[in-house]
Amino acid sequence: MRRKYGSYYADWRDEHGNRRMKAFPTKKQATRYQNRMRSIAAAKKQEAHGASGKRATRGQNKKHAARDGQQHERSSHSPAISKSAS
């Protein structure tokens, strides 16, 4: 919390990491709002990352696709070049 220009500012970061501030006439109001916004942002971050905290490891999707009978093919961004006899 900050005091600036005769007002008290609630200071927090949202779920995307952007800094936010809002002015209040009293310190108590600013502190309450700041704590509430910090807890809301923390809850949203937890939802975005999943409550379990488990992450897929590299190559895991390919392993599951092969097991299920689906093959992932690599696509090339450039067209295939074929050599012809000159």
Mark out the alpha helices in 1-86 (DSSP H runs): 27-49, 60-67
The residue ranges of every structural domain in the chain are 2-51
Q: Which residues contact 20 (CB under 8 A, 6 or more apart)?
A: 11, 12, 13, 14, 37
Q: Report the distance separating Cα 27 and Cα 23, nearest Å.
A: 10
Q: Report the distance separating Cα 45 and Cα 76, nearest Å.
A: 36
- The rounded average pLDDT for each run of 10 residues, N- to C-terminus, in the chain (86 residues) is 89 88 94 92 80 60 61 56 58
Q: Residue 41 has which token pair?
A: 């942002």
Q: Residue 29 has which token pair?
A: 């109001």
pLDDT value of position 82: 57
pLDDT value of position 3: 87
